């Protein structure tokens, strides 16, 4: 079976296509959302999701989150003394989702369609693909998150042609896509975005406001206090949606600091973030050759679009109410599962034709003549422009710039800068050419880019017909099958915690965290429930374990609601 996976910055989901349509598969705790958080203890045990998130308050040096923002980079995370790349941490999230789906469905999962932000470049896309492979999945196809959302909304079922804009503000990334539906063809017209803007930034603003009002400095807080602050800021961010002010408190040492933050203060503090949202919207419309008034519908996806300050801003920007009929957290995963069904050629979706675009310009490095006889090297020559509908194939003819030149080297680059050095290097190839005066010999450079993000580069010498080809799969960041197998073996010592123990371990970690944050009578009351639960665990009586766990969780719910 092929499943769809939404590998998110804050939360991840897995979905499959059933006889009744796309369906989210619940995780081992019965929840649709699995936090994209990983923890590794000193014994090599891996905790993913809610359990890992709870461990953050107690063992902050053993936990990693928001690592999606670093996908495709050389950054490493150290957890309990062990080093991991972002794609390796992502693979643990994917592996947990895969195991949960296999248990729920009762069959093996071998392949997945994984969603990526539309504005992910080649390195980030290939790192995502590698994460899936490290988790033991075949990943032949990825789908842009806004495109997946558009598919999930069933817009291809509409009876009239429609232009719409998908606004995707997740936990850590932001995408805008302009799409057009005509007949049964869903065409992506343009994409834009920011890989470093999302709901986490809005949480950060709330935390910053609290520090200012409580007269605290972040660098003076311990790691545990910083984690508590982040948790309180997240709660306050959600709560301010339903009220005109929120109260935050933070236990610092033996003293509890408190501060009140109004909706107006929060909105003003978020103004800079809201302005950053405007730019990708304008760029995507400009690339598509459209105006705001040309857009028939605006669709919101991503958990951060639940924020009233974001929705109010968008209503003012678009001068219309957006479509929010689907759960913004689940839309992308549902769309990815539909794309998986398309790949399987399922009868229910075979009539849908889906096109995508190239998110970044693809080109090569050239020498340009800026005055008679004066040349400048290191310039970028676009061959396939960003937002070109794919699959696409474009050819550019390049000429020699020196007398008796014997070789032409084509460096394959991705990006938007006019200077080659500022763009992403993907690979290169070189061809021999006959000696001749400058400008006499030339090569045709053809770039062919397909829906699976594979780029074929062909360089053909015009005078001789000799050509060379190169398939770009990520060049400097693409692991071979042998390397992937070796790394999978190296990670094999890491043991993801069994499904059966997850609920109990989560309850214990949550109780430990609340105990650390509590004082006085609250601690004594918690100790009563915690002792009873631990006694049940020691006896091994499953019914008593279930009962005492529920009592402990109910108490914790009341404590955290206060």
CATH at residue 258 = 3.90.640.10
Let me know if 68 is a catalytic residue. Answer: yes
- Widest distance between CA atoms in the chain: 90
Q: How many CB atoms lie within 10 A of CB 392?
A: 16
Total count of domains within the chain = 4
Say which of 54, 100, 133, 168 is annotated catalytic. Answer: 168
Say which of 145, 200, 201, 503 is annotated catalytic. Answer: 145
User: Greater confidence, 25 or 401?
Assistant: 25
Beta strands in 288-341, from DSSP E residues, in sequence order? 297-301
Q: Indicate the pLDDT class of residue 112, thresholds 50, 70 and 90.
A: very high
pLDDT above 60 for 473: no
> How many angstroms separate the CA atoms of 284 and 96, rounded?
35
494 assigned to some structural domain: no
Please, are residues 205 and 16 in contact by the beta-carbon 8 Å criterion? no
pLDDT at position 285: 92
Please, are residues 236 and 246 in contact by the beta-carbon 8 Å criterion? yes
pLDDT at position 497: 54
pLDDT at position 461: 93
pLDDT one-digit tens code per residue, 136-182: 999 988 888 888 888 887 654 555 678 889 999 988 889 898 988 77
Which residues, listed in sequence order, are joined to residue 384 by a DSSP beta bridge? Answer: 362
Average pLDDT over residues 71-84: 92
Average pLDDT over residues 36-59: 91
Say which of 6, 50, 88, 180 is annotated catalytic. Answer: 6
Q: Indicate the pLDDT class of residue 185, thresholds 50, 70 and 90.
A: confident
pLDDT at position 476: 35
Do residues 150 and 40 share a domain?
A: yes
> How many angstroms separate the CA atoms of 228 and 400, rounded?
62
User: Helix, strand, or coil here: 177?
Assistant: strand
Do residues 231 and 123 share a domain?
A: no
Do residues 134 and 109 share a domain?
A: yes
Average pLDDT over residues 421-430: 88
329 assigned to some structural domain: yes
Do residues 56 and 161 share a domain?
A: yes
Q: How many CB atoms lie within 10 A of CB 171?
A: 24
Do residues 193 and 250 share a domain?
A: no
Of 241, 271, 301, the residue at which a domain comes to its end is: 271
Please, are residues 509 and 51 in contact by the beta-carbon 8 Å criterion? yes
Average pLDDT over residues 287-316: 90
> How many angstroms separate the CA atoms of 247 and 260, rounded?
4
The token pair at 107 is 């069959």
pLDDT one-digit tens code per residue, 491-530: 655 655 555 578 888 888 888 888 877 777 888 888 889 8
The token pair at 542 is 């499953």
Do residues 265 and 284 share a domain?
A: no
What are the residue ranges of helices labelled H in 106-144?
Answer: 122-134
Do residues 401 and 381 share a domain?
A: yes
Let me know if 296 is a catalytic residue. Answer: no
- The alpha carbon of residue 202 and the mean position of all alpha carbons in its chain are separated, in whole angstroms, by 17
Q: Indicate the pLDDT class of residue 375, thresholds 50, 70 and 90.
A: confident
pLDDT at position 480: 62
Please, are residues 398 and 443 in contact by the beta-carbon 8 Å criterion? yes
Residues of the domain holding 120: 2-197+274-357
Percent of the chain with pLDDT over 90: 48
Average pLDDT over residues 349-357: 65
Instruction: Give the residue from 177, 182, 363, 174 showing the smallest Cα distance to 275.
Output: 174
**List of residues 6+ apart from 378 with CB closer than 8 A:** 365, 419, 420, 421
53 assigned to some structural domain: yes
Mean pLDDT computed over every residue of the chain: 87
Do residues 395 and 428 share a domain?
A: yes
Q: Indicate the pLDDT class of residue 261, thresholds 50, 70 and 90.
A: very high
User: Helix, strand, or coil here: 36?
Assistant: coil
Q: Indicate the pLDDT class of residue 536, thresholds 50, 70 and 90.
A: confident
Of 313, 332, 357, the residue at which a domain comes to its end is: 357
Let me know if 145 is a catalytic residue. Answer: yes
486 assigned to some structural domain: no
DSSP code, position 498: P
Of 146-160, 270-284, 355-369, 392-406, the poorest mean pLDDT is in 146-160
For residue 144, the number of C-alpha atoms closer than 13 Å in the C-beta half-sphere is 35
Average pLDDT over residues 402-410: 91
Q: Indicate the pLDDT class of residue 58, thresholds 50, 70 and 90.
A: confident
Do residues 320 and 436 share a domain?
A: no
Sign of the dihedral defined by the CA atoms of residues 193, 199, 204, 205, in that order: positive
Of 321, 340, 357, the residue at which a domain comes to its end is: 357
- Angle (nearest 5°) at CA 142 between 396 and 299: 100
88 assigned to some structural domain: yes
Which residues, listed in sequence order, are joined to residue 84 by a DSSP beta bridge? Answer: 77
Q: Indicate the pLDDT class of residue 354, thresholds 50, 70 and 90.
A: low
User: Greater confidence, 480 or 265?
Assistant: 265
Do residues 513 and 457 share a domain?
A: no
Q: Indicate the pLDDT class of residue 481, thresholds 50, 70 and 90.
A: low
Say which of 50, 53, 54, 68 is annotated catalytic. Answer: 68
């Amino acid at each position: 079976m092929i499943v769809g996976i939404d590998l998110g910055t804050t939360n991840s989901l897995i979905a499959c296509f059933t006889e009744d349509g796309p369906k989210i598969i619940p995780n081992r705790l019965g929840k649709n959302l699995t936090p994209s958080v990983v923890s590794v203890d000193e014994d090599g045990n891996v905790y993913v999701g809610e359990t890992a998130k709870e461990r953050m308050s107690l063992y902050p040096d053993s936990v990693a989150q928001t690592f999606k923002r670093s996908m495709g980079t050389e950054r490493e995370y150290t957890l309990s003394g062990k080093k991991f790349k972002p794609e390796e941490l992502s693979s643990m999230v994917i592996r947990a989702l895969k195991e949960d789906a296999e248990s729920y469905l009762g069959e093996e999962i071998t392949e997945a369609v994984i969603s990526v932000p539309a504005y992910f470049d080649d390195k980030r896309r290939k790192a995502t693909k590698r994460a899936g492979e490290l988790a033991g999945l075949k990943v032949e196809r990825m789908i842009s998150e806004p495109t997946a959302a558009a598919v999930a909304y069933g817009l291809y079922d509409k009876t009239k042609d429609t232009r719409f804009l998908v606004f995707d503000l997740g936990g850590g990334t932001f995408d805008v896509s302009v799409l057009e539906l005509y007949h049964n063809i869903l065409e992506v017209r343009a994409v834009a975005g920011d890989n470093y803007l999302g709901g986490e930034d809005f949480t950060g603003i709330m935390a910053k406001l609290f520090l200012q009002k409580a007269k605290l400095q972040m660098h003076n807080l311990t790691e545990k206090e910083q984690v508590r602050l982040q948790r309180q800021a997240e709660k306050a961010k959600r709560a301010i949606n339903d009220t005109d002010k929120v109260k935050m408190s933070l236990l610092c040492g033996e003293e509890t600091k408190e501060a009140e933050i109004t909706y107006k203060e929060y909105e003003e503090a978020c103004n800079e973030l809201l302005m950053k949202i405007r730019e990708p919207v304008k760029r995507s419309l400009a690339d598509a050759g459209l105006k705001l008034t040309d857009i028939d519908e605006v669709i919101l996806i991503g958990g951060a679009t639940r924020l009233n300050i974001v929705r109010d801003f968008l209503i003012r920007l678009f001068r219309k109410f957006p479509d929010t009929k689907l759960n913004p957290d689940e839309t992308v995963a549902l769309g990815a599962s539909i794309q998986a069904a398309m790949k399987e050629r399922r009868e229910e979706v075979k009539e849908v034709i889906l096109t995508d675009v190239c998110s970044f310009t693809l080109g090569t490095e050239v020498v340009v003549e800026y005055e008679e006889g004066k040349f400048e090297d290191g310039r970028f020559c676009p061959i396939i422009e960003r937002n070109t509908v794919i699959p696409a194939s474009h050819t550019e003819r390049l000429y020699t710039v020196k007398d008796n030149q014997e070789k032409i080297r084509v460096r394959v680059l991705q990006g938007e800068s006019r200077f080659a050095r500022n763009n992403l290097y993907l690979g290169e190839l070189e061809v021999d050419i006959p000696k001749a005066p400058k400008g006499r010999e030339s090569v045709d450079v053809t770039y062919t880019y397909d829906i699976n993000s594979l780029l074929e580069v062909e360089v053909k010498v015009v005078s001789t017909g000799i050509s060379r080809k190169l398939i770009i799969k990520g060049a400097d960041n693409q692991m071979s099958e042998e390397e992937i197998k070796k790394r999978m073996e190296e990670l094999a010592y890491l043991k993801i915690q069994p499904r059966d123990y997850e609920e109990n371990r989560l309850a214990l970690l949550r109780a430990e965290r609340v105990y650390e944050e509590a004082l006085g009578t609250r601690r004594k009351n918690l100790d009563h429930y915690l002792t009873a639960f631990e006694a049940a665990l020691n006896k091994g009586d499953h019914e008593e374990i279930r009962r005492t766990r529920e009592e402990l969780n109910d108490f914790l719910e009341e404590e955290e609601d206060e």
